[in-house]
Amino acid sequence: MIVRQKLYEGKAKILYATDDPEVLLTYFKDDATAFNAQKRGSIEGKGAINCAISSHLFRVLEAGGIPTHFVAQVSTNEMQVRAVKIVPLEVVVRNIAAGSLCRETGLPIGTVLPKPLVEFYYKNDSLGDPLLTRDRLFLLELATPKQVDHLQTLALRINDILTAFFQDCGITLVDFKLEFGIDRNGQLILADEISPDTCRLWNQTEDDPTKRVLDKDRFRHDLGNVEAAYQQVLERVLNSKL
């Protein structure tokens, strides 16, 4: 497959066209950002780790009946994906209170939610990716009511699969962000990545609230040992029996 021009460069990945218009190439970078790119840095080996984790988890989800854009991992940092039109929404699923949910509601960090919470954020860096009500989402015509219902259903199914998977890894899935796209057949499918960049992951064998963190919060809050945490997630994901 011949790689052609760069189509898009984001905070963590670069997207390239190929000689097949239905297949794109995603390159995972070591760059790291936080707080809407106000904090920038680099995590050594992050691109390769996130590419491997995402590839494995996409396979797990597809085995569970979730349609994704994943085609193949073709190198340490590169993944072939199906071309989609990205829906301009970030779909966040929360199982335990952390991050912005605590800041905006006053819930103590670590509060187990009575049921998973699904939230929609406007994928717009200039506006700071704001949380949307359903009425605002429809006002902006970001998705149809049918699509929003389908996104919520898919997000909850993905949560069930990933929660069980990470449980087998000895990791608690606190919350995570999903992005979806529409393929050439008009089908909503999971896109982007699933990794310590997009998930909050807590080590179940560690009680210390700073030591248990295995995700990008280590970078966000200068907790140190970021590379080791990402590597630990990779090793547990690849060694999982599920």
The model's confidence at residue 3, banded by pLDDT at 50, 70 and 90, is confident
Q: What H or E segment, with its residue span, contains residue 24? A: strand 23-28
Q: Report, as an integer, the average pLDDT of 97-107.
A: 97
Q: Answer yes or no: is pLDDT of 211 > 90.
A: yes
Residues written for the chain = 242
Q: Report, as an integer, the average pLDDT of 60-73.
A: 98
Residue 150 to residue 188: CA distance in whole angstroms: 8
Domains of the chain are 3-82 (3.30.200.20), 85-239 (3.30.470.20)
Q: What DSSP letter does each residue of 175-196 carry, written as one string?
A: EEEEEEEE-TTS-EEEES--ST
Q: Answer yes or no: is pLDDT of 60 > 80.
A: yes
Computed over every residue of the chain, the mean pLDDT equals 96
DSSP state of 224: S
Q: Answer yes or no: is pLDDT of 160 > 90.
A: yes
The model's confidence at residue 148, banded by pLDDT at 50, 70 and 90, is very high
Q: Answer yes or no: is pLDDT of 20 > 90.
A: yes
Contacts of 142 (CB under 8 A, 6+ apart): 87, 88, 89, 122, 132
Contacts of 126 (CB under 8 A, 6+ apart): none
Q: Confirm if 69 and 84 have CB atoms less than 8 A apart.
A: yes
Distance from first CA to last CA of the chain, Å, rounded?
32
Which whole-number Å values give the CA distances from 19 to 23, 25, 102, 168, in the listed order?
8, 10, 46, 40
Residue 16 to residue 27: CA distance in whole angstroms: 8
The tokens describing 88, both together, are 């301009």
pLDDT one-digit tens code per residue, 189-200: 999 999 999 999
Q: Report, as an integer, the average pLDDT of 90-112.
A: 98
Residue 143 to residue 91: CA distance in whole angstroms: 12
Alpha helices in the chain (DSSP H): 46-63, 100-105, 134-139, 145-168, 217-220, 226-239
pLDDT one-digit tens code per residue, 32-49: 988 877 789 999 999 999
The model's confidence at residue 98, banded by pLDDT at 50, 70 and 90, is very high
b/e code 147-175 from CB counts within 10 Å (16+ = b): bbeebbebbeebbebbbebbeebebbbbb
